[in-house]
Amino acid sequence: MILLSNHFTEIKKRFTGRKVAIMLDFDGTLSSIASTPQRARIHVGIKKVLKKLSQSPHTMYIVSGRSVADVKKKIGIANVTYVGNHGMEWEMGGRRKTIPLPRTIKQAIGKAKQKLRIIQKKFPGILIEDKQLAVALHYRGIRKTDAKSFQTQTASLLGELTRDEHLKIGKGKKVFELLPNIAWNKGFFVRMMVKTELKNMAQKDIIYIGDDQTDEDVFRILPKALTIRVGKNKKSAARYYVRSLQSVYQILTMLVSRYPSERSIFRNSADQR
């Protein structure tokens, strides 16, 4: 992985006058990781820049593991496509869409919610996040003395809940979730966009920033894009990494000041004809 700040000047040059698609994860990318998911807040400076970007010719996507309703509330900016539940649902141009799920999977999610609530009663400090299409359990707040028995009990529960193969387990930072066991993730969503909404855009004009395991599914399918991981990780497929939200802020600010003027848009579209 390459530290992005060492190449900032050339990246700045590369994006001058280019219209790009900006895709951003939320937790840990636009907000600091908080003690609970409810407490996570968008970085104040980043919010201002996002607002400007949403009014620029660039195309914006927020690609989160949260539900669309939740992440939309956290960001609160119009003219952005909100993608939730790791790509299983999205809101684009005011229209909400969801990947269709078989009834057996929906029932399995319902059952998983009930079972996780039982675990929650036994261990204070854990949180259940009902995301409709999935259910997550956050254990950042667990008491140290409970850690061992929590681990044993959840391991056996997860085994039970995934036995009939309707659900699979997803892992993130101090969170695991039960998800529909379908071949779909953030990467599938982005690939769908690349083939449809973004089909006239070169891959090198896509920027994706994320901080976690679920973002790796996107990094892998975009080898030519500007892929950035927040936090260094040797196994990451992202081309660059940054050390903090401050760097995310810098990159986004660079894109605000670099978006094409009316004249250069006209020139670019003339070139394509």
| Of 91-99, 115-123, 208-216, 242-250: span binding Mg ion (CB under 5 A) | 208-216
Q: How far is the CB of 140 from Mg ion (least distance, A)?
A: 14
Piece of the chain touching Mg ion by CB under 5 A; list 115-123, 191-199, 209-217, 259-267: 209-217
Per the CB < 8 A criterion, the answer to whether 219 and 23 are in contact is: no
Nearest distance in Å: CB 214, Mg ion: 7
Of 69-77, 90-98, 187-195, 205-213, which segment contacts Mg ion by CB under 5 A? 205-213
The CA distance from 249 to 43, in Å, is 9
Candidates 70, 177, 205, 212; binder of Mg ion (CB under 5 A) is 212
Amino acid at 120: Q
Q: Is residue 187 within the footprint of Mg ion (CB under 5 A)? A: no
Query: Does residue 37 touch Mg ion according to CB under 5 A?
Result: no
Q: Say whether residue 28 binds Mg ion (CB under 5 A).
A: yes
Q: Strand order of the sheet with strand 240-242?
A: 2-3, 240-242, 226-230, 206-210, 21-24, 59-63, 81-84, 89-92, 95-98
Closest CA to 129 of 69, 41, 47, 42: 69
Count residues contacting Mg ion (CB under 5 A)? Answer: 5
46 vs 108, beta carbon nearer Mg ion: 46
Residue (205 or 212) nearer to Mg ion, CB: 212
Near Mg ion by CB under 5 A: residue from 89, 211, 216, 217: 211
Q: Write b or e for each residue in 36-55: b if 16 or more Cβ atoms lie within 10 A of its Cβ, otherwise e.
A: ebeebebbeebbebbbbbbe
Asked if 217 touches Mg ion (CB under 5 A), the answer is no
CA distance 19 to 189: 21
**In angstroms, what is the minimal distance from the CB of 257 to Mg ion?**
26
What span, in angstroms and rounded, lies between the C-alpha atoms of 169 and 174?
13
Q: Binding to Mg ion by residue 84, rule CB under 5 A?
A: no
Question: Using an 8 Å Cβ cutoff, are 60 and 22 in contact?
Answer: yes
Q: Site residues (CB under 5 A) for Mg ion?
A: 25, 27-28, 211-212
